[in-house]
Amino acid sequence: VPEETARLCAGAAEALEKLEPPTKPAMHCASEGVCTGKGGEVHAAVWLRAPGALATAAAKQVDIMACVDTSGSMKQDMPVVRSVLAKLVRRAQPQDRILLITFNSEATLRLGWTQCDSEGKRRLHQAADSLE
């Protein structure tokens, strides 16, 4: 595990320690697609997963509003952004919904609330792939 990934996961674990019972979940932390950006910045996607009964109890609809910076300064990072969005869509459950907004000098609704069934996922992947 890269050092920066371990640091990010430790930070997430530290934040969870501050939760009051009974809301404190057990946590599995994994990182995918860690890369270094300009100026020594580190970009990572961190996924948290609740085990067993918590995961079953959490299987309710989740609404995710994805806001993506498409300004010129993000051009070199856009492949990573597209990859993270694709992973998010793949992991979404059929009852979940995702909305996609892009912004640069102004905000644009790229795709309204979209159910994550097979057709919705196709549309979400298409919208993510078209980001520049």
Enter the CATH code of domain 60-132.
3.40.50.410
**Which tens digits make up the pLDDT trace of 58-76?**
567 888 888 888 888 888 8
Per-residue pLDDT at 20 exceeds 70: no
Domain locations along the chain: 1-59, 60-132
Per-residue pLDDT at 50 exceeds 90: no
For residue 97, what pLDDT is reported?
Answer: 92
Mean pLDDT, residues 51-58 taken together: 56
Poorest-confidence range of 24-33, 52-61, 91-100? Answer: 24-33
* Of the candidates 112, 18, 123, 107, the residue with the CA atom closest to the CA atom of residue 65: 112
Angle between helices 118-129 and 78-91 (to 10 degrees): 180
Strand ranges of the sheet holding 63-69, from the earlier edge strand across to the other edge:
63-69, 97-103, 107-115
> Residue 65 corresponds to which amino acid?
M
